A and B are shown apart, each in its own frame.
Chain A
Amino acid sequence: MDIFIQQVVNGLVLGCIYALIALGYTMVYGILGIINFAHGDILMVGALTALSGILGLQYLFPSMPQWLMLVVATLIAMPACAFLSYGIERVAYRPLRNAPRLAPLITAIGISIILQTLAMMIWSRNPLIFPTLLPSSPIDIFSTGAVITGKEIVIIVLSFVVMVGLLLLVNRTKLGRAMRATAESPRIASLMGVNPNFVISATFMIGAALAAVAGVMMATNYGNAHFYMGFIPGLKAFTAAVLGGIGNLAGAMIGGILLGLIEALGAGYIGDFTNDVFGSNYQDVFAFIVLIVVLVFRPSGIMGERVADRA
Chain B
Amino acid sequence: MKKKKLAIVGFVAIALLAPFIAQTFGGNYWVRILDFALLYIMLALGLNIVVGFAGLLDLGYIAFYAVGAYLMALLSSPQLTTQFAELAQLFPSGIHLGFWWVLLIAGPVAALFGVILGAPTLKLRGDYLAIVTLGFGEIIRIFLNNLDRPVNITNGPKGINAIDPVVFFGIDLSKAQELFGITLSPSLMYYYLIMALVIGVVFISFRLQHSRIGRAWVAIREDETAAKAMGINTRNVKLLAFAMGATFGGISGVVFGAFQAFVSPESFVLWESIYVLAIVVLGGMGHIPGVILGGILLVGFQEFLRELAEPVQKMLFGQVYIDAEVLRQLLFGLALVVIMLYRPSGIWPAPKREDRPVTRTGARTRSGTNPLEGGAR
A-side interface residues toward B, CB under 8 Å?
A: 34-35, 91-92, 95-96, 99-107, 109-114, 116-118, 120-121, 125, 235, 238, 242, 276-279, 281-282, 284-285, 288-289, 291-292, 295-296, 299
Chain A residues within an 8 Å CB radius of B123:
296, 299
Select one of A99, A106, A121 contacting B336, CB under 8 A.
A106
Beta-carbon contact of B344 and A292 below 8 Å: no
In the assembled complex, the CB of A27 is this many whole angstroms from the nearest CB of chain B, namely 15
> Bound complex: CA of A295 vs CA of B124, how far in Å?
8
| Sampled A-B contacts (23; CB under 8 Å) | A92-B337, A102-B51, A104-B340, A105-B127, A106-B277, A106-B336, A107-B336, A109-B333, A110-B334, A110-B335, A111-B337, A113-B333, A117-B326, A117-B330, A117-B333, A125-B326, A281-B142, A285-B139, A291-B135, A295-B120, A295-B124, A296-B120, A296-B123
Beta-carbon contact of B138 and A288 below 8 Å: yes
The residue on B at minimum CB distance from A29 is B127
B-side interface residues toward A, CB under 8 Å?
A: 51, 55, 57, 120, 123-128, 130-132, 134-136, 138-139, 142-143, 146, 149-150, 274, 277-278, 281, 285, 322, 326, 329-330, 332-337, 340-341, 344
Beta-carbon contact of A288 and B139 below 8 Å: yes
Beta-carbon contact of B281 and A106 below 8 Å: yes
Beta-carbon contact of A101 and B126 below 8 Å: yes
Chain B residues within an 8 Å CB radius of A92:
337, 341
Chain B residues within an 8 Å CB radius of A99:
340, 344
> Bound complex: CA of A116 vs CA of B130, how far in Å?
20
> Bound complex: CA of A214 vs CA of B275, how far in Å?
29
Chain A residues within an 8 Å CB radius of B336:
106-107, 109-110, 113
Chain A residues within an 8 Å CB radius of B126:
101-102, 105
19 other A-B residue contacts (CB within 8 Å) besides A103-B340, A106-B336, A284-B142: A91-B337, A96-B341, A101-B125, A102-B281, A106-B277, A106-B340, A107-B337, A109-B336, A110-B340, A117-B329, A117-B333, A125-B326, A238-B131, A292-B120, A292-B132, A292-B136, A295-B120, A296-B120, A299-B123
In the assembled complex, the CB of B237 is this many whole angstroms from the nearest CB of chain A, namely 19
Chain A residues within an 8 Å CB radius of B341:
92, 95-96, 107
In the assembled complex, the CB of B144 is this many whole angstroms from the nearest CB of chain A, namely 12
- Given A92-B341, A114-B337; A235-B332 close (CB under 8 Å): no
The 6 lowest CB-CB distance pairs between A and B, nearest first, are: A110-B336, A113-B333, A288-B135, A114-B333, A110-B337, A101-B126
The residue on B at minimum CB distance from A104 is B340
Beta-carbon contact of A102 and B57 below 8 Å: yes
> Bound complex: CA of A23 vs CA of B57, how far in Å?
25
The residue on B at minimum CB distance from A283 is B142
Beta-carbon contact of A105 and B130 below 8 Å: yes
Chain B residues within an 8 Å CB radius of A111:
333, 337
In the assembled complex, the CB of B190 is this many whole angstroms from the nearest CB of chain A, namely 30
Beta-carbon contact of A35 and B127 below 8 Å: yes
The residue on A at minimum CB distance from B57 is A102
The residue on A at minimum CB distance from B120 is A296
Beta-carbon contact of B281 and A113 below 8 Å: no
> Bound complex: CA of A154 vs CA of B130, how far in Å?
35
Select one of A95, A107, A116, A281 contacting B329, CB under 8 A.
A116
> Bound complex: CA of A35 vs CA of B129, how far in Å?
11
Beta-carbon contact of A291 and B130 below 8 Å: no
In the assembled complex, the CB of A247 is this many whole angstroms from the nearest CB of chain B, namely 13
- Given A103-B344, A107-B340, A113-B336; A284-B124 close (CB under 8 Å): no
> Bound complex: CA of A117 vs CA of B331, how far in Å?
9
Chain B residues within an 8 Å CB radius of A106:
277-278, 281, 336, 340
Beta-carbon contact of B142 and A282 below 8 Å: yes
Interface centre among A92, A117, A121, A292 (most CB of B within 10 A): A117
In the assembled complex, the CB of A91 is this many whole angstroms from the nearest CB of chain B, namely 8
> Bound complex: CA of A204 vs CA of B131, how far in Å?
20
In the assembled complex, the CB of A60 is this many whole angstroms from the nearest CB of chain B, namely 27
The residue on A at minimum CB distance from B55 is A102
Chain A residues within an 8 Å CB radius of B136:
288, 292
> Bound complex: CA of A109 vs CA of B335, how far in Å?
11
Chain B residues within an 8 Å CB radius of A100:
344
